[in-house]
């Protein structure tokens, strides 16, 4: 059967079908376009009939009917108006599907999110309660929340028995040994604006769990404390994540042996046969690859993290780097958190443009307006490049121990600002005497990447690499870090591993 050769197509057995009446009237139009559309509809009707599809059944569907009458309406327009209409529709389609993807964003927010909520409620995934958890140590405190480690306790265990106990105390008891560890964030309801921040972080975590689950810590949900006990206050909101690992990149970097302390986690073994500088370089490259790959994933869905720093990168037991802390993130697809709250951003990792944006945009536009404007904003401002600057600072810190201390980082920020965010100039001028030999390996590919991340954003994205462009940079192209990861997964012998690295 051919869709192209109309003369061969069998005629419809049902002359009163929607398709046929549509094709008859449209083919009676004198213009080329309507004749074309008419032929197509006739062919579709004929072909459906030839495969035994009863076209009356189509009439029943009001959706198909209204679709057909819409097409009919367009076909009936005078030729000039028809082309104007079609051009407008094409433009709207291109605009709404251009980065960051407003159309897909609307679909996600208004179709997928309610679906996820419905499904989660059916399987009971959102039915978290205060009494499901015990709190452990306090891990950190931000402007709007306090973070604790914790664990899930099975519901058949007496609630009073476990309330307020520390996880470590529980772990000593045999029956609690294999508790599922979690991270709990208590929203500081007493602080102005904290409730909105908590709601926003929750919304965002659900959004990310749909958009890029593998890049981020798994979000388990939220609950409102039903009574005041231990750190729980009645009515207080708590967010819960899966515990992804004991240390963040910041914790690992505090260790003098960094990056060697991550070697076995990242590659499953020691990299024998390489000198220490090459081992350092491979570990750092693997960390950078993972961070930038995750950033590419979230940027592809219109999300900018805006708080990339070692303390917000968790190293899992399997050597994966997961992004956490989306409290300052923005979603350009639907215009959420459009203008950053300065209090949430860490000045040590912020790109130079941050200091311009809030003043230029004193009052953020309402969400739907921000969403509609986002393709223009994305093209003009490239907001994703915010995270790439921060990633450049992380690279520099990993490569040079002098920049890891708080004072070293502060000094770096003062110096880089004074040379107009030109990293090459900074290297000539700095008094920090950083050892950048790791970046100078392989003809300075790492250094070249650093200079293209730590720089002004520039006009039309020319100044700084996006995540996708960074992954195409020669620094990543040889993929020696990837080869080692794959080989270690395949449990190849150490000597063979080393052989392959040398012959890359
Ligand atoms: N899913 C997780 N798995 C393991 N550890 C985590 C996880 N989430 C958070 N943490 C730990 O808790 C700390 C604080 O978490 P987070 O960054 O989300 O909160 P915060 O409000 O920014 O607090 P802070 O300002 O102290 O960073 C992290 O630095 C990390 O050590
Ligand atoms: Mg944090």
Domains of the chain (ranges, CATH numbers)? 20-77 (no CATH), 128-242 (3.30.200.20), 247-476 (1.10.510.10)
- Closest-CA residue, ligand 1 atom 24, reads 142
For ligand 1, what atom is nearest to the CA of residue 241? 1
For ligand 1, what atom is nearest to the CA of residue 247? 31
Contact residues for 406 (Cβ-Cβ < 8 A; gap 6+): none
The region, left, alpha or beta by phi > 0 then psi within -120 to 50, assigned to residue 452 is alpha
Pocket test for ligand 1, best of 137, 138, 140, 243 (most atoms within 8 A of CB): 140
For ligand 1, what atom is nearest to the CA of residue 140? 26
From ligand 2's centre to the CA of 370, what distance in Å? Answer: 26
- Cβ burial of 503 (10 Å; 0-12, 13-18, 19+) is exposed
SS3 of 148, please? Answer: strand
Question: pTM above the 0.85 mark?
Answer: no
- Closest-CA residue, ligand 1 atom 11, reads 139
From ligand 2's centre to the CA of 171, what distance in Å? Answer: 26
Residue whose structure tokens are 């953020």: 364
Is-cis flag, bond preceding 496, omega within 30?
A: no
Ligand 1 neighbour 145 (Cβ under 6 A): yes
Q: Which of 200, 289, 266, 293 is nearest to 239 (CA)?
A: 200
Ligand nearest to the CA of 247: 1
Q: Which residues pair with 148 in a beta bridge?
A: 138, 184
Containing 338, the helix (H) or strand (E) segment is: none
SS3 of 484, please? Answer: helix
From ligand 1's centre to the CA of 69, what distance in Å? Answer: 55
| Catalytic pick among 108, 132, 307, 325 | 307
Ligand nearest to the CA of 205: 1
Ligand 1 neighbour 245 (Cβ under 6 A): yes
Per-residue pLDDT of the chain (504 residues; tens, 9 = 90+): 333 333 333 343 343 333 333 333 334 443 444 444 445 455 555 655 555 555 555 555 777 888 788 888 888 888 888 888 888 888 888 878 777 777 787 788 888 888 988 888 888 777 888 888 888 889 988 878 999 999 888 777 765 555 556 666 666 666 667 788 999 999 998 888 888 888 888 988 999 998 899 999 999 999 999 888 888 888 999 999 999 999 999 999 999 999 999 999 998 888 877 888 999 999 999 999 999 999 999 999 889 999 999 999 999 999 999 999 988 888 887 777 766 666 678 899 999 887 544 445 546 667 777 778 778 777 777 889 999 999 999 999 999 999 999 999 999 999 999 999 999 999 999 998 999 999 999 999 999 999 999 999 877 667 899 999 999 999 998 767 777 777 666 655 455 455 455 444
Residue 237 counted as an annotated binding residue: no
Taking the C-alpha atoms of residue 416 and residue 33, their distance in angstroms, rounded to an integer, is 61
Ligand 1 neighbour 311 (Cβ under 6 A): yes
Pocket test for ligand 1, best of 141, 237, 294, 325 (most atoms within 8 A of CB): 325
State both tokens at 221.
Answer: 């949900």
Containing 150, the helix (H) or strand (E) segment is: strand 145-152
Per-residue pLDDT at 195:
86
Ligand 1 neighbour 146 (Cβ under 6 A): no
Q: Which residues pair with 237 in a beta bridge?
A: 224
**DSSP state at residue 365:** P
State both tokens at 19.
Answer: 């398709």
SS3 of 375, please? Answer: helix
**DSSP state at residue 31:** S
Q: Is 76 part of the annotated catalytic residue set?
A: no
Taking the C-alpha atoms of residue 372 and residue 376, their distance in angstroms, rounded to an integer, is 9
Containing 271, the helix (H) or strand (E) segment is: none
**DSSP state at residue 216:** B
Ligand 1 neighbour 217 (Cβ under 6 A): yes
Contact residues for 18 (Cβ-Cβ < 8 A; gap 6+): 55, 58, 59, 64, 65, 68
Task: Render the burial of 249-263: b for 16+ CB within 10 Å, e for the rest.
Answer: bbbbbeeeebbebbb
Ligand 1 neighbour 243 (Cβ under 6 A): yes
Q: Do the beta carbons of residue 67 and residue 73 sit within 8 Å? A: no
Is-cis flag, bond preceding 259, omega within 30?
A: yes
Per-residue pLDDT at 492:
53
Ligand 1 neighbour 133 (Cβ under 6 A): no
Taking the C-alpha atoms of residue 295 and residue 336, their distance in angstroms, rounded to an integer, is 18
Taking the C-alpha atoms of residue 39 and residue 235, their distance in angstroms, rounded to an integer, is 65
From ligand 1's centre to the CA of 323, what distance in Å? Answer: 10
- Closest-CA residue, ligand 1 atom 21, reads 142
From ligand 1's centre to the CA of 142, what distance in Å? Answer: 9
């Amino acid at each position: 059967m051919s869709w192209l050769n109309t003369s061969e197509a069998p005629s419809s057995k049902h002359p009163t079908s929607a398709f046929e009446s549509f094709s008859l009237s449209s083919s009676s139009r004198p213009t080329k376009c309507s004749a074309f559309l008419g032929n197509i509809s006739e062919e579709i009707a004929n072909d459906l009939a030839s495969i035994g599809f009863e076209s009356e059944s189509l009439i029943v569907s009001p959706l198909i009917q209204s679709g057909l009458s819409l097409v009919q309406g367009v076909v009936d327009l005078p030729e000039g108006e028809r082309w104007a209409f079609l051009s407008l529709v094409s433009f709207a389609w291109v605009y709404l599907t251009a980065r960051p993807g407003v159309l897909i964003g609307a679909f996600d927010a208004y179709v997928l999110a309610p679906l996820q909520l419905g499904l989660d409620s059916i399987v009971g995934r959102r039915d978290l309660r205060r009494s499901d958890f015990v709190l452990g140590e306090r891990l950190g405190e931000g402007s709007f929340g306090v973070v604790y480690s914790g664990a899930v306790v099975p519901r058949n265990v007496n609630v009073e028995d476990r309330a307020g106990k520390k996880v470590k105390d529980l772990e000593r008891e045999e029956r609690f040994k294999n508790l599922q560890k979690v991270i709990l964030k208590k929203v500081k309801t007493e602080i102005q604006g904290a409730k909105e921040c908590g709601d926003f972080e929750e919304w965002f975590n659900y959004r990310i769990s749909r958009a890029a689950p593998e890049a981020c810590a798994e979000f388990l949900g939220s609950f409102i404390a039903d009574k005041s006990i231990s750190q729980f206050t009645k009515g207080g909101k708590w967010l819960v994540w899966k515990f992804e690992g004991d240390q963040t990149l910041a914790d690992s970097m505090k260790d003098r042996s960094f990056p060697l302390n991550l070697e076995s986690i990242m590659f499953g073994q020691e990299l024998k046969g390489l000198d220490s500088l090459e081992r350092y370089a491979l570990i750092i490259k693997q960390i950078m690859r993972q961070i930038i790959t995750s950033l590419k994933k979230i940027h592809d869905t219109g999300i900018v993290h805006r708080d990339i720093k070692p303390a917000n990168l968790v190293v899992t037991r399997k050597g994966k780097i997961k992004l956490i802390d989306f409290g300052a993130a923005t979603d350009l697809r639907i215009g959420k958190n459009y203008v950053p709250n300065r209090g949430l951003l860490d000045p040590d990792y912020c790109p130079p443009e941050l200091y311009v944006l809030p003043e230029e945009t004193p009052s953020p536009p309402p969400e739907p307006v921000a969403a509609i404007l986002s393709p223009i904003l994305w093209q003009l401002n490239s907001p994703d490049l915010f995270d790439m600057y921060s990633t450049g600072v992380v690279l520099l810190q990993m490569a040079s121990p002098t920049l890891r201390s708080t004072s070293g980082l502060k000094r770096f920020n003062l110096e880089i600002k004074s040379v107009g965010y030109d990293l090459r100039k900074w290297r000539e001028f700095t008094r920090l005497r950083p050892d950048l030999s790791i970046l100078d390996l392989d003809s300075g590919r790492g250094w070249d990447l650093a200079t293209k991340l730590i720089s002004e954003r520039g006009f039309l994205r020319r100044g700084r690499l996006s995540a996708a462009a960074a992954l195409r940079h020669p620094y990543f192209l040889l993929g020696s870090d990837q080869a080692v990861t794959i080989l270690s997964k395949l449990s190849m012998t150490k000597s063979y591993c080393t052989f392959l690295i040398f012959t890359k």
